[in-house]
Amino acid sequence: MDDLFSEYIRKRAIARVGGCEKCLAEKHDMTKEDGSIFPAWKQLQCSHFHGRGNHSVRWDEDNAAGLCGGCHMYFTANPSEHKAWFVARLGELGEALLEGRKREGMPDKEAIKLYLKMKLEELSKGT
């Protein structure tokens, strides 16, 4: 399920801003020497605000952003700026709701899988 979630978050970032959700660096599909395509979304990383050990929000789309490696490393080294960016992104109410969901129990993994598959299908259709 982590692979599905990560793919969704990174593809969502491409759909939203064309690349990294923090620095807004655009990412484009690249053609490798063998002629295969390295997709833009694979050039991003799935960054969690509350770490992946918090299973109640591990697969919560409000708890993740698609970031380039540099921004992801920067936020890891600067947690106060990471928090400020996520609060600005979600708004005070959104951040409070995420904090509330963080205190809930283990989510229904099968329901999350179905939801992620649906969201990925929507992204592939451009809806």
In the chain, where are the structural domains located? 2-120
CB 38 within 8 A of CB 29: yes
Q: What is the pLDDT of residue 127?
A: 57
- Residues of the chain under the 70 pLDDT cut: 127
Q: Using CA atoms, how far apart are residues 106 and 103, in angstroms rounded to an integer? A: 10
Q: Using CA atoms, how far apart are residues 105 and 7, in angstroms rounded to an integer? A: 24
Question: What is the pTM (predicted TM-score) of this model?
Answer: 0.93
Closest alpha carbon to 119 in 43, 19, 9: 9
